């Protein structure tokens, strides 16, 4: 993947030899990277249909007016809790490899949310935000990593995602003039994945087409950050692989009392003997 490039006066340059290194360098430096053709078209269509079904169920359960009051219209929270087909997204091999390279070996699923951008409607996600919101500081290492799946083509017309490159390194949100000058709209074909640091400022565009745009945002975090909802408790006592226990946060649940705290530590010692 490395291309010959003329240079002089350079004594230290990083080179990469595989796709993972390419994405890691992109994410660490500019905050995002794109991989095409991760999901096939038929699978995307199936996920889109299921998102609509789950959303209608969630809307009926909580009430459309209540969702509107919370700016939650056309937001499908945690679809994998209602249909195991969505497990395939946060267990995707490429996403997990990148999550480990960005976050380290210990990380858990923070959220999985479907975003339905209907034609001629402004979605709440068109506002600039970080996926770790209200945080105006940065850290030397990443705390969160996102894999955003494009389940339809993402185009300028249908409101493809905007990102502000390098903004994951800023402890403030830049001026409006800077944002307008430097924002980038990410167009990508159906089945692509937009990977980004969770502290990168981004927003959805406005869908001015005549078709719905679908996407699913999957976010991983280091275990010191709690899950958006208590995912781990949904899987207590279920037969899961060690890796899936970690991913779902079961491994990182807060001990219920002192005895539980000590037993967990003792189990770790026993396992490593």
Q: Tell the CATH topology of 19-229.
A: Jelly Rolls (2.60.120)
Contact 211, 152 (CB under 8 A): yes
In the DSSP assignment, the letter for residue 18 is: S
**Structural domain boundaries in the chain:** 19-229
Tokens of 102: 């960005």
Round to whole Å and give the CA distance between 18 and 38. 16
Round to whole Å and give the CA distance between 243 and 252. 12
Round to whole Å and give the CA distance between 246 and 90. 12
pLDDT of residue 219: 99
* Residue whose entry in the numeric block shows the structure tokens 């210990």: 106
pLDDT of residue 272: 60
Q: Which H or E element spans position 76?
A: strand 75-77
Round to whole Å and give the CA distance between 237 and 83. 19
Question: What does each of the 273 residues of the chain score in pLDDT, given as a tens digit?
Answer: 455 778 888 888 878 779 999 999 999 999 999 999 999 999 999 999 999 999 999 999 999 999 999 999 999 999 999 999 999 999 999 999 999 999 999 999 999 999 999 998 777 788 999 999 999 999 999 999 999 999 999 999 999 999 999 999 999 999 999 999 999 999 999 999 999 999 999 999 999 999 999 999 999 999 999 999 999 999 988 899 999 999 999 999 999 999 999 998 898 887 665
Task: Please provide the size of the chain in residues.
Answer: 273
């Amino acid at each position: 993947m490395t291309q010959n490039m003329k240079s002089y006066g350079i004594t230290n340059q990083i080179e990469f030899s595989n796709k993972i290194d390419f994405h890691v360098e992109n994410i660490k430096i500019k905050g995002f990277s794109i991989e095409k053709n991760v999901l096939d078209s038929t699978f995307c269509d199936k996920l889109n249909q299921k998102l609509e079904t789950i959303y209608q169920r969630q809307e009926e359960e909580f009430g459309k007016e209540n969702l509107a009051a919370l700016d939650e219209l056309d937001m499908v929270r945690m679809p994998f809790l209602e249909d195991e087909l969505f497990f395939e997204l946060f267990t995707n091999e490429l996403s997990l490899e990148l999550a480990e390279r960005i976050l380290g070996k210990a990380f858990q699923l923070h959220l999985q949310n479907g975003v339905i951008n209907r034609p001629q409607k402004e979605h709440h996600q068109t506002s600039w935000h970080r996926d770790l919101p209200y945080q105006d500081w940065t850290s030397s290492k990443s705390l969160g990593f996102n894999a955003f799946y494009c389940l339809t083509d993402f185009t300028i017309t249908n409101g493809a995602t905007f990102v502000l490159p390098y903004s994951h390194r800023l402890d403030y949100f830049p001026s409006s003039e800077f944002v307008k000058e430097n924002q980038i709209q990410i167009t990508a074909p159906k089945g692509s994945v937009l990977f980004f640091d969770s502290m990168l400022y981004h927003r959805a565009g406005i869908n001015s087409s005549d078709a719905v745009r679908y996407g699913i945002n999957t976010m991983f975090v280091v275990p010191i950050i709690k899950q958006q909802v208590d995912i781990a408790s949904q899987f207590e006592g279920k037969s899961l692989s060690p890796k899936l226990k970690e991913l779902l946060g079961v491994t990182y649940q807060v001990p219920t009392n002192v005895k539980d705290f000590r037993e967990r530590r003792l189990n770790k010692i026993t396992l490593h003997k």
